[in-house]
A and B are shown apart, each in its own frame.
Chain A
Amino acid sequence: MLLALVLIPILAALAILGGAQARMAALVAAGLNLALGIAAALQPAAPFWSISCSVLSRPDIHLALGLYDGMSVVMLLLAVIVTLAAVLSGKAPEGREKLYYASSLLISAGAIGAFVATDLFFFYAFHELALIPTFLMIGILGRGDRRAIAWKITLYLGFGSLILLAGLLWLAHVAGTFSIPEMLARGPVDAASQKGIAALLIVGFGILVSLFPFHSWAAPAYASAPAPTAMLHAGVLKKFGLYGLLRLAIPLLPSGMHAWLTPLCVLLLGNILWVGFVTLNQRRLDGVLGHSSVMHMGYIFLAIAALAASPMNDLALPAAVLLMFAHGISIALGFGLADRIERKTGSLDFADLGGLAKPAPGLAFLFGLATMASIGLPGLANFAGEVMVFVSSFRNYLPAEGMGPVQITCVLAIWGVVISAVYGLRAFRRTFHGPTRPSTETATDLSLCERAPSLLLAGVLLAVGIFPNLLLSLLQ
């Protein structure tokens, strides 16, 4: 059945390219996938989900999909929810519907495949599959200097994928198998190669997740990308790197990850503090959103660092998964609404915006909710994730022995909650508060149809924020 989750969007994409009504086909595929995803979350242990068929015998590669554990289920849920929202909120430029919707579906298919693949080769290949339509969407339908930006992210992510490929191949080599469950069953790999593999994986995955200092591709790409692409990439596809580190590096390379603990801590602080300050200086709403999404990766890396310091930490993995899910939903909400703002006012430059809450209170409410989620307000999912990350950093803290690198990093990282409050509220203030401007006074509020994708995402944020156990119970 997981194969169906991957195939439905691919087939729908093919149908669209073959002439089917694009938006309708995409909506049907996304809706079907959401239903299947929820079914998978309700019955993850059922045997009919997984599939495995041999593709190549030397090396032994299988097209193997399965829900290895709750982490895959949560990521799958994230992917299908954001896909539906992205397709719903999309509005293709005249005559470009085919490319627009087919690409969105292919990104989704690739992301879903990567999260449920239990074979290393397909784990990697599905992510690559998702990158190609991402590049196409930016290069063809992007805003601003789209060719240069598409070129930049192609090279950048391609380069990251290449490093990652080297690391994964090395890992498969020392583990002696491409099957992820088999690797995990065998436990940590040979200690001598752990450090090297860990370095390749941290950098490779790190580039894909915009780990500092490999983050320069992210904000311009999101600013240029059409809304569904930004939502799917920042919300879902980017989590692939974090998922990979949690899935492979933490259980298989404990000593290797431990060896890179301090550099990892420094880099994640780069995400939170350095990029946080960069976000403060943004003059456009999409710049704030793009950089904030880079910044928030730092908190998930903090949970990874807590696991690298002590793989026995029982809170860090659920915390990381919870925050990945929360961030994915909230940033998709942010990008989706920013696109609405641009369509209604014609600009995302703070100099042109202001007072939008008056003509569009519904939009202000939903965007306010997205802002509050991203700055970690209780009741919304991100807060639960962030608090759990902080608590997990102190889970193994022994006061008598002083603070370790993880605790020191956590203390510094908490300054990030101040920074994100400042840029988040400033952005909201400049867009929605104050007197109306020429571009905003004639703006209309969201119609019910336009609200639908945001309500879906906002509802999920609230539900998970108030009842985090909904997700956490999947992880037990």
Chain B
Amino acid sequence: MLPWLLLLLPLCSAAVNQLYLKRNAFLASMLSVASVVVTLIVSFLLLGKTDGGPSYSWISIGDFQLPIQLKLDALSTGMMIVVTGIGALVHIFSLAYMAEDGAKARFFTCLSLFMFSMTGIVLAGNFIMTFIFWELVGLSSYLLIGHWYEKDSAADAANKAFMVNRVGDFGFLIGILLTFGLTGTFVFDDMKVGLNNFAALHPDLVGGLLAAAILCVFCGAVGKSAQMPLHVWLPDAMEGPTPVSALIHAATMVAAGVYMLFRVQLSLGAEAFEGVAGNAIAWVGGFTSLCAALMATQQNDIKRVLAYSTLSQLGYMVMAVGLGGAEAGMFHLFTHAWFKALLFLGSGAVIYACHHEQDIWKMGGLIKKMPITTLTFAIGTAALIAVPFVTSGFYSKEEILATAYAKNKILFGIAVFVAFLTTFYMTRAFVVAFLGKPRDHGSDHAHEVGPLMLAPLCLLALMAIGSSWLTKPLSAVDPRLIHHAEEHAEGHLLILGLSAAALVLGLLAGFLLYRGKDKDPIDLPLLQNRFYIDVVYEKGVVKLLQDGLAALIHFLDVWVINGLLVGGSARLSQSFGNLFRRAQAGNLQGYAFLLGIGVVLVIYFTTFWN
């Protein structure tokens, strides 16, 4: 029953908060924190376990079953540590960050709902269960982005996140159904057998159908993990409170797409990702990581810099999965979760201290005002830009680069360039926000934040350095995955050299360009406006295609279908009706007329009954 505790505790906490503690924010927040701390302990107890406990029959029709079943293996228990660990720290941070918020109880209710949903994705034993909780994390993300729903921007961002994700889910659902058609099952553990049976019967068809199914499933990951072209919701999602950005929109939920892909790869076999499907996935990931890193170099909102950085790093992971190096991708997911949560919470502390100022050009000199926050932020930055040997990010990024080097040299080149860009934009953000002199009243009067915020920052900073030593649990999952690590040993020095060069160049460029500056010396509207992708979506896809089409179809519906078909028939019967009754119009008479025809029909029919 222990695994079920992971799922049910946050659910109970959310339910109790919603039903009984709406007006008692303190108790509500304490209950949420308690539940997440207990689940963290349970997650540790479950490390290495494989017994998911009893399953619950959600839908059963005859011999058809859709159970809620928990799957425990190295992958899911490892991921649970990330989810509950970062979850616990973010909950504690939020106690201070959201202390003065009027809707604190609602905030913690939603956080608990999120913990429940995310746990469901991680522990899902079948595809339908994944989809159920996939939608539920979407809901909690929607609720939390829209936490300050009175603000139009927050309400719009929440809607955007949900809708864009639904576009991805369109493909995801089709992919789930196609996989069901191919393997005859939704259960991850049985997929391989079903697939082999099908392959034995139709060896010529299986490749194409499998690639189609995987690409459709991938659409779901494109939405949830914000890959191009469905990345547009994630930067807007920064409208939510910053702890939410750290937990949901950086560390855990957005990584669910990568996690799901890896789960599918384990279930169907790594060879299923070879060929078209894997290539397409790798290129989408590589392209996303490049474009997002470019956009990050010209953002001025500290949270947006981090948001685009998240996009870019997710692109790395997706690329690795597509190249067959899912282990590398998952490894990066594990390390990235900690240091990106650290960076977001650090930015949250800065925003809090600067009276909700998010523009880095209005900050500056924070190193003197908030030394501990600055130090932790620096550690997070070091992990993200992969300072060799001392940070966790270095090891995981190295594995991704090695995978790319072994499989696809062009993508490898892109990945190295992205590493340079990453160093550059993070140096820029750090130099502008933390060094130099305060540029604004807010940053001039900033104070170090309280211990409730500093403690999570320090713990996360430790993890940013050490998580690579603690969490490398994946090799236990599938022995085939280890081979990749051995294959590319020969390029090791070259990879190390290139990534070190990218790091040094990025640091130099960042320092030289931005040190002591009061405004951005580089002005690239193309990048500031994010390649105008959002504009194209808003004006082209939403306004023109969707709303325009809707208006056109509505017009046709009213004037053609209603006007001709219905109006015509109505006029016809009306004129019939006029034959039978006086000019006065009344609906009951019309109905009586029709009923009369009915009666005549019945009489006629019964007379000729044989």
Binding site for B on A (CB under 8 A): 58-59, 128, 131-132, 135-136, 139, 147, 150-152, 154-156, 158-159, 161-162, 165-166, 169, 173, 213-217, 274-275, 277-278, 280-282, 314-315, 318, 355, 357-358, 372, 376-379, 383-384, 387-388, 390-391, 393-394, 397-400, 410-411, 414-415, 417-418, 421-422, 425-426, 429, 432-436, 468-469, 472, 475-476
Contact = CB atoms under 8 A, between A and B. Distances in A.
Contacts of A281: 547, 550-551, 553-554
B587 A213 contact: no
B551 to A, nearest CB: 5
Contacts of B167: 418
B60 A469 contact: yes
Judged by DSSP, the binding face of B is: helix
B294 to A, nearest CB: 29
A377 B60 contact: no
B155 A429 contact: yes
Given A278-B550, A394-B181, A400-B205, A315 B64 contact: yes
B377 interface: no
Contacts of A415: 170
A278 B557 contact: yes
A429 B161 CA distance: 13
Interface residues of B, number: 73
Taking each of A156, A433, A475, which has the highest tally of chain B beta carbons within 10 Å of its own beta carbon?
A433
A422 B177 contact: no
B553 A417 contact: no
Contacts of B201: 400
Nearest to A273: B553
Contact of A397 (B162, B166, B181, B547): B181
Contacts of A475: 61
A430 to B, nearest CB: 9
A318 B61 contact: yes
Judged by DSSP, the binding face of A is: helix
Interface of B: 57-62, 64, 66, 128, 131-133, 135-136, 139, 142, 146, 149-152, 155-156, 158-159, 162-163, 166-167, 169-170, 173-174, 177-178, 180-182, 198, 201-202, 205, 209, 546-547, 549-551, 553-554, 557, 561-562, 565-566, 569-570, 573-574, 585, 587-588, 590-591, 594-595, 597-598, 601-602, 605-606, 609
Contact of B546 (A155, A217, A422): A422
Contacts of A135: 587-588, 591
Contacts of A213: 561, 565
Contacts of B151: 434
A387 B209 contact: no
A155 B574 contact: yes
B61 A315 contact: yes
A151 B131 CA distance: 45
A161 B598 contact: yes
Contacts of B159: 425-426, 429
Given A213-B565, A418-B163, A391 B149 contact: no
16 contacts: A139-B587, A155-B574, A155-B594, A159-B594, A162-B598, A275-B557, A390-B177, A394-B181, A397-B177, A411-B174, A415-B170, A417-B169, A421-B166, A422-B163, A433-B150, A435-B150
A173 to B, nearest CB: 7
Contact of B152 (A161, A398, A435): A435
Given A217-B566, A280-B550, A58 B606 contact: yes
A255 B169 CA distance: 35
A158 B595 contact: yes
Contacts of A384: 58-59
Contacts of A357: 149
A431 to B, nearest CB: 11
Taking each of B149, B158, B178, which has the highest tally of chain A beta carbons within 10 Å of its own beta carbon?
B149
A193 to B, nearest CB: 15
B123 to A, nearest CB: 15
A410 B177 contact: yes
A377 B601 CA distance: 46
Given A165-B601, A391-B128, 13 more contacts: A59-B606, A154-B594, A156-B566, A173-B605, A173-B609, A280-B547, A281-B554, A383-B135, A398-B181, A421-B166, A433-B146, A468-B58, A469-B58
Nearest to A136: B588
A315 to B, nearest CB: 6
B378 to A, nearest CB: 38
A214 B569 CA distance: 11
Nearest to B562: A216
A371 B103 CA distance: 22
A307 to B, nearest CB: 14
Contacts of B60: 469, 472
Nearest to B22: A361
B605 A432 contact: no
A154 B590 contact: yes
A82 B181 CA distance: 37
Contacts of B59: 384, 388, 468-469, 472
A196 B384 CA distance: 70
A288 to B, nearest CB: 12
A314 B62 contact: yes
A269 to B, nearest CB: 13
Contacts of A136: 588
B595 A128 contact: yes
